[in-house]
Amino acid sequence: MRNIKLKIAYDGGRYYGWQRLKDNDQTIQGKLESVISEMVQSYTEIIGSGRTDAGVHAKGQITNFHTDSIMTLEEMHRYINRYLPQDIVVKEITQVSDRFHSRYHAKSKKYTYYVWNHYTHSPFHRKYSCHLPKKLDVPLMKEAAAKFIGTHDFIGFSSLKKTKKSTLRTINELNILSQDNLMSFTFVGDGFLYNMIRIIVGSLVEIGLHEKELSHIDKVLEKNVRSKAGITMPPQGLFLEEVYY
Amino acid sequence: MRNIKLKIAYDGGRYYGWQRLKDNDQTIQGKLESVISEMVQSYTEIIGSGRTDAGVHAKGQITNFHTDSIMTLEEMHRYINRYLPQDIVVKEITQVSDRFHSRYHAKSKKYTYYVWNHYTHSPFHRKYSCHLPKKLDVPLMKEAAAKFIGTHDFIGFSSLKKTKKSTLRTINELNILSQDNLMSFTFVGDGFLYNMIRIIVGSLVEIGLHEKELSHIDKVLEKNVRSKAGITMPPQGLFLEEVYY
């Protein structure tokens, strides 16, 4: 069987997230599976590098599927983009080795969260950022961000209930950029717990608004109590940028 | 009476353009007039620096209106943004001299047209650019763009019917930038005829696709025959960026 890898971009605004739901095909995985299964005339499971939540966007989600189809890659590319809704696009299609698995083999991921920090919102960013009208203390937030770098138990910065799996994760980079009124928080790490990025950004925002002290972050990282971490930022500011293998 | 100047951004995608229509309030001017007239409890005309066509966007449209209202600027700003649809935003509000007129006093304007030049479209740019899948010859287009700089009779590059008014216009800048897959065409000039920017970009695109020769532009500029100029590009790639006074 051939193993086909797709690099995908989507505007998650209209969708209930990546993962296929039983009674609802308004998911990214559901849309892809229905178009690709129709194309190859046989039910085809699409494996994603990971789930994205409802409303979260992607510029470089990686997926793969197995097929016996004899269509060329160019034919598949044209077919899939033609029948997908316009807010989901296959950017690249390649044939990979049998053993490639887009989830198991993902080594790390890059996500960016956008905040529009100005008194008025922008009509062009409102669906792709969180609007914060109060001026944020960016230097202080950069200082706070540095505390997350490295390997920590991030359970306090996630929405996970009890779990037996390890909640240790490594954040390799967390860069904050502020240009004109748009702030971006770029994360590179080996994996992220449920809602982890949105809660870390929420915690940084509370520090940038001087609602919490810098030392607060150390406390949550040490004691791992979710109730003490910041709010969960809304999904529309979050983009899965790249998956590294 | 007070004279209030507004700097406005809008996503033109849902609108029939700037200018108020009799039987249709789905215009930018119509929306502003209805919110502001309600605010000051008296019909108030909103003067714009110029019209934008259906589907065209603005980041810095300038408008003004006269009022006897005693509301503070902050109160007006909050009220207007609260009642406008989310795709129209007042970015700045200032009180100006009685004599200021946003149309008559405009000295020049900056517009940008965006083209997404890649085999696949981007879900994040599809409403804000024109998608051209074939690779464009950018250096050749830059050479062609230089021909438009200066004062010319641009009647051949407009959708105007016969007119008695002067069709001489001066283009001070026309810069083409190409970054990743996004190309931008930035125009600064003292005024633009009906559809002029969209037709100039269409003419440059035909050259970039090697469908027409460079010399073709000189011919149209000399002979002023619209039928010989390029296609009119679609509206969703066009942004009114700034108005200079």
- Kindly list the residues from chain A whose CB atom is less than 8 angstroms away from the CB atom of residue B52: none
pLDDT tens string B60-99: 999 999 999 999 999 999 999 999 999 999 999 999 999 9
> Confidence class of residue A92 from pLDDT cuts 50, 70 and 90?
very high
Of B25, B53, B87, B153, the catalytic one is: B53
pLDDT at B226: 66
Contact A121 B86 (CB under 8 A): yes
pLDDT tops 90 at residue B150: yes
- Interface check A87 vs B, CB under 8 A: yes
| Closest chain B residue to the Cα of A78, Cα to Cα | B120
> pLDDT value at position B134?
95
- Give contacts of A90 with chain B, Cβ < 8 Å: 120
Residue B214, pLDDT above cutoff 80: yes
Task: For chain A, say whether B122 makes contact (Cβ under 8 Å).
Answer: yes
- Which pLDDT belongs to residue A226? 65
User: Which residues of chain B have a CB within 8 Å of the CB of A81?
Assistant: 120
| Per-residue pLDDT at A161 exceeds 90 | no
CA–CA gap between residue B17 and residue A115 (Å, rounded)? 29
- The catalytic residue positions of A are 53
pLDDT of B141: 97
Cα separation, A33 vs A27, whole angstroms:
10
Give the mean pLDDT of chain B.
94
Res. A105: pLDDT tops 70: yes
pLDDT for res B159:
85
* Predicted local confidence at residue B17, as pLDDT: 95
Are residues B59 and A90, on separate chains, in Cβ contact within 8 Å? no
Q: How far apart are CA B245 and CA B242, in angstroms?
A: 10
Q: At which residue do the structure tokens 């930018």 appear?
A: B28
User: Residue A131 pLDDT more than 70?
Assistant: yes
- Summarize pLDDT for B101-147 with one digit per residue, the tens: 999 999 999 999 999 999 999 999 999 999 999 999 999 999 999 99
Helix/strand number for chain B, H first, E second? 5, 10
At residue B161, the pLDDT reads: 75
**pLDDT at A223 (0 to 100):** 77
CB-based contact A59 B124, cutoff 8 Å: yes
pLDDT at B109: 97
Q: Distance between CA A181 and CA A179 in Å, rounded?
A: 6
pLDDT band, very low/low/confident/very high, at B216 (cuts 50, 70, 90):
confident
Percent of chain B with pLDDT over 90: 84
Q: Which fold has domain B108-244?
A: Alpha-Beta Plaits (3.30.70)
* CATH number of the B2-96 domain: 3.30.70.580
B104 known ligand binder: no
DSSP letter string, B128-172: SSEE--SPP-HHHHHHHHHTT-EEEE-GGGS---S-SS--EEEEE
A242 interfaces chain B, CB cutoff of 8 Å? no
Whether pLDDT at B218 is above 80: yes
Q: What is the pLDDT of residue A220?
A: 85
Chain A interface includes B123 (CB < 8 A): yes
Sorted by where each begins, the domain ranges of chain A are 2-96, 109-244
Residue in A11, A77, A90 nearest the CB of B124: A11
- Cα angle value B127/B240/B110 (rounded, 5°): 135
Q: In what helix (H) or strand (E) does residue A183 lie, and over which residues does it extend? A: strand A182-189
Write the CATH number of the domain with boundaries A109-244: 3.30.70.660
Looking at residues B188-198, what average pLDDT do you find? 94
Question: Mean pLDDT throughout A204-219?
Answer: 92
- b/e burial code for range A184-205 (CB count within 10 A of at least 16 → b): bbbbbbebbbebbbbbbbbbbb
CA-nearest residue to B181 within chain A is A91
Best residue of A32, A86, A120 to probe chain B, by most B CBs closer than 10 Å: A120
Q: How far is A210 from chain B (nearest CA, A)?
A: 24
Axis-axis angle for helices B73-83, B28-40 (nearest 10): 130
CA distance B210 to B83: 49
Q: To the nearest whole percent, how much of chain A has pLDDT over 70?
A: 98
User: How close is the nearest chain B Cα to the Cα of A78, in Å?
Assistant: 9
Rounded Cα gap, residues A155 and A226, in angstroms: 7
Chain B contact for A89, CB < 8 A?
A: yes
| pLDDT at position A227 | 66
Query: Of all helices (H) and strands (E), which one includes residue B202?
Result: helix B196-208
Q: Angle at the Cα of A102 (from A187 to A168), degrees rounded to 5?
A: 45
- Find the residue in B nearest to A88 (Cα): B123
- The verdict on B121 touching A (C-beta cutoff 8 Å) is yes
Q: What is the mean pLDDT of residues A198-202?
A: 96
Tell whether A90 lies on the interface with B, counting CB pairs under 8 A.
Answer: yes
- Does B47 touch chain A if contact means CB atoms closer than 8 Å? no
Q: Give the minimum alpha-carbon distance from B91 to chain A in angstroms, rounded to a whole number.
A: 6
Contact A197, A172 (CB under 8 A): no
Among the listed ranges A108-112, A206-210, B99-103, B219-223, which one has the minimum average pLDDT value? Answer: B219-223
Q: In terms of CA atoms, which chain A residue is nearest residue B92?
A: A120
Q: Please give, rounded to a whole number of angstroms, the shortest distance from the CA of A12 to a CA of chain B.
A: 10
Q: Do domains A2-96 and A109-244 have the same CATH topology?
A: yes
Token pair 């709010």 is found at A231
